[in-house]
Amino acid sequence: MPRTKVVFYREDDGAVPLIEWLDGLPVKVRVKCRIGLARLATLGHELRRPQADYLRDGIYELRVSYLRVQYRMLYFFHEQAAAVVSHGIVKEQRVPPKEIDRAVERRRQFITDPQSHSLVGFVP
């Protein structure tokens, strides 16, 4: 099975929401998130529960937990070979609809102009 390219979504101003979110997490959580991203790169569309789950409107969540805290990285697929990671959140009971809406909007922007909204070069 070919590896899935993992791309981080980049805002118009150059900010990368996932990297900013990861930078604010404890080191052990960052390590677990990188492991999750590596699994996404390896398994792509085949990644399933409990590590990933489909939310709605083409948006998936990559699931990481540490010390009973639930961390989620929202992503979508672009064509067949790339997973674009929109952003991360700390989940309480369920992923808030506004966070899914944010990922849906970023997906729309990404599809319109993939070059401008990609941070490529991340290797999990």
The enclosing domain of 90 has a CATH number of 3.30.2310.20
pLDDT by residue (tens digit) across 1-49? 678 999 999 999 999 999 999 999 999 999 999 999 999 999 999 999 9
In a domain, 120, yes or no: no
Residues 6+ apart with CB under 8 A from 45: 4, 77, 80
Instruction: State the number of CA atoms in the 13 A half-sphere of 108 facing the CB.
Output: 7
pLDDT by residue (tens digit) across 78-106? 987 799 999 999 988 889 999 999 999 99
With a pLDDT cut of 70, the percent of the chain lying above it is: 95
Q: What is the pLDDT of residue 43?
A: 94
In a domain, 25, yes or no: yes
Residue with tokens 């899935």, as numbered in its chain: 4
Report how many domains make up the chain.
Answer: 1
Q: What is the pLDDT of residue 75?
A: 97
Residue 9 sits in which domain range?
A: 5-115
Mean pLDDT of 71-83: 92
124 pLDDT band, cuts 50/70/90, is: very low
Task: Indicate the residue type of 2.
Answer: P
In a domain, 61, yes or no: yes
In a domain, 121, yes or no: no
